[in-house]
Amino acid sequence: MNVSSINRERIGLLVIGLSSLTAVLPTIYFLLYERLPGSWLREGGIYETFGAVACLAAGLLSLYSLKKSLKLKQPLWCIWMLFFAVVCFLIAGEEINWGQRFFSYHVPDSITATNFQGEFNLHNSMLIQSRNNSISSILSKFLMLYFILLPMFIVGFPTIQRLIQRMMIPVPSMKIAIVALLVKVADLV
């Protein structure tokens, strides 16, 4: 084992540890005090900002991977990385209302009138919110399948592993699956 792989492992453990702590702390706090501080969950609060920064970082890492994949001439992997980057940037933008609070720009009345929180985003618009429960449910199940079950199925079922490898679908590591599982369990409590 060389120094580079040891450092990479330490960084990985640090990221997984911080992610796990971030997922579990609110649950512990809630169990102790039966409420969460309003500053954590309010619009523009800690969790919303943390989520936006994490999505921005994931989008940038996806673009970096895309750049490396272009050099290796892996077109299918490039498509996946571009897809992940675009999705991450969209989520980050939505989380911070496309910079509305940061840049203090005025949103046209026609948009605020159709948004439940009077903000510039799609996820609080009447178009999405009227169907939000079913969309959220489908998205939650998809994310659980991708981040928790897929890594486990890859380990347990060689046929699925070969299919996923042929399609060059990026698979989250087991470390990420553990954090995602912690987040899901904390969400249920």
Q: What is the predicted pLDDT for the residue at 130?
A: 64
Q: What is the predicted pLDDT for the residue at 109?
A: 85
Residue 43 has pLDDT above 60, yes or no: yes
- The rounded distance, in Å, linking the Cα atoms of 65 and 183 is 26
Amino acid at 73: K
For 11-21, what is each residue's pLDDT tens digit?
Answer: 777 777 777 77
Residue 162 has pLDDT above 90, yes or no: yes
CA angle 22, 28, 30 (to 5 degrees): 105
**7 strand-pairing partners:** none
**125 strand-pairing partners:** 115
- The rounded distance, in Å, linking the Cα atoms of 169 and 176 is 16
What average pLDDT does this structure show over 96-108? Answer: 83
What average pLDDT does this structure show over 40-51? Answer: 79
Q: What is the predicted pLDDT for the residue at 31?
A: 81
The predicted model scores a pTM of 0.75
Give me the percent of the chain exceeding a pLDDT of 70. Answer: 92
Q: Which has the higher per-residue pLDDT, 159 or 129? A: 159
* Three-state secondary-structure class, residue 59: helix
For 126-157, what is each residue's pLDDT tens digit?
Answer: 777 665 567 767 877 888 899 999 999 998 89
For 57-78, what is each residue's pLDDT tens digit?
Answer: 989 999 998 998 888 888 888 9
Q: What is the predicted pLDDT for the residue at 3?
A: 55
